[in-house]
């Protein structure tokens, strides 16, 4: 049995989701979101994200984590903010020696829905099929669960 922490880093609200993998079976453990205050200083927002993910790791003791690879926006400022948020989240994992696998967004969608061009609504609908009874904390948590499921299928065992 393996516990996987999926992460969807974002400066405004980082999503997280934990699944249990036992052979080819997956089960929902927990999911949530870590929002930051838009008007707070950058250092405070990053510290909030790092602390929130550290808390999730301490509570669930995952065996590994997974995050989407960073993509470059047309807006360089947005890309930089995403990279900083991602750094804070990955630092929380690195601090406790938690291995992090990275997957392209298209691969995550393909692993969960069957097509790399899937819309968010399609991903969320498939999550409800794959994880019966799951109550999603929000869109960011759904994306994080999708990353965890993709990692269960894509990462070497």
DSSP one-letter string for 35-88: E--TTS-HHHHHHHHHHHHHHHHHHH--SEEEEEPP---SSHHHHHHHHHHHHH
Indicate if the pLDDT at residue 75 is higher than 60: yes
What is the domain extent for residue 82? 2-154
Binding residues: 8, 68, 140
Tens digits of residue pLDDT in 97-141? 999 999 988 899 999 988 888 888 899 999 999 999 999 999 999
Number of domains in the chain: 1
- The pLDDT assigned to 135 comes to 93
What count of other Cβ atoms lies within 10 Å of the Cβ of residue 29? 17
Binding site as annotated, residues for Mg(2+): 8, 68, 140
Residue pair 73/12 in contact (Cβ under 8 Å)? The answer is no
Radius of gyration in angstroms for the set of CA atoms belonging to the chain, rounded to a whole number: 15
> Span 80-85, mean pLDDT?
88
Give catalytic residue positions: 8, 68, 140
Residue reference for tokens 């890309």:
79
CATH number, domain containing residue 92: 3.30.420.10
Flag whether pLDDT at 157 surpasses 60: no
């Amino acid at each position: 049995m393996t516990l996987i922490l999926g992460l969807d880093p974002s400066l405004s609200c980082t999503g997280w989701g934990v699944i249990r993998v036992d052979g080819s079976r997956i089960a929902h453990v927990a999911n949530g979101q870590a929002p930051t205050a838009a008007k707070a200083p950058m250092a405070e927002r990053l510290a909030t994200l790092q602390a929130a993910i550290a808390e999730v790791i301490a509570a669930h003791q995952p065996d590994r984590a997974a995050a989407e690879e960073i993509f470059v926006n047309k807006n360089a400022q947005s890309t930089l903010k995403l990279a900083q948020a991602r750094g804070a989240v990955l630092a929380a994992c690195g601090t406790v020696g938690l291995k992090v696998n990275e997957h392209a967004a298209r691969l995550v969608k393909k692993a969960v829905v069957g097509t790399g061009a899937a819309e968010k609504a399609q991903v969320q609908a498939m999550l409800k099929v794959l994880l019966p009874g799951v109550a999603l904390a929000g869109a960011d948590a759904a994306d994080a669960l999708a990353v965890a499921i993709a990692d269960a299928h894509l990462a070497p065992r």
